[in-house]
Amino acid sequence: MTEHTDSIDVPARAVTNAAVVLWGNRWQSDMARELGLTLRRVQRIAAAARDDETYQLPRGLLADLLARLERVHRPMQRAYEDLKTLYDGA
């Protein structure tokens, strides 16, 4: 994880949605371990999401999440486009 110097208020639900995509059902413990966060902090994010609140997230952590999502998204997008082209041409 990178050094975080400033933070931004983000909808906690956006963070948890990203976490589910990246880590699946065990997202809380896996997210904490992989990003170097305490499990308690991740649980606070989950609680804020359940309450439809924002959560103050360090910009560096947000950048880490975005980079991880991009690594997952690009191959999925290419696979979708390939299959869609085949389907549309059939």
Q: Could you read off the pLDDT of 31-86 as tens digits, one per residue?
A: 999 999 999 999 999 999 999 999 999 999 999 999 999 999 889 899 999 999 99
Residue 25, in any domain of the structure: yes
Q: What is the rounded distance in angstroms from the CA atom of residue 57 to the CA atom of residue 37?
A: 12
Degrees, nearest 5: CA angle 7-69-59: 10
Number of domains in the chain: 1
Q: Is the pTM of this model over 0.85?
A: no
Give the model confidence (pLDDT) of 11-32 as tens digits: 999 999 999 999 998 899 999 9
| Confidence bin at 3 (pLDDT 50/70/90) | very low
Instruction: Give residue 43's domain range.
Output: 7-89
Rounded Cα distance between 53 and 41, Å, is 15
Measured CA to CA, the distance from residue 35 to residue 53 in angstroms comes to 22
Q: Is residue 2 part of a domain?
A: no
Q: Give CA–CA dist 90/80, Å, rounded.
A: 15
For residue 11, how many C-alpha atoms fall within 13 Å in the half-sphere facing its CB? 6
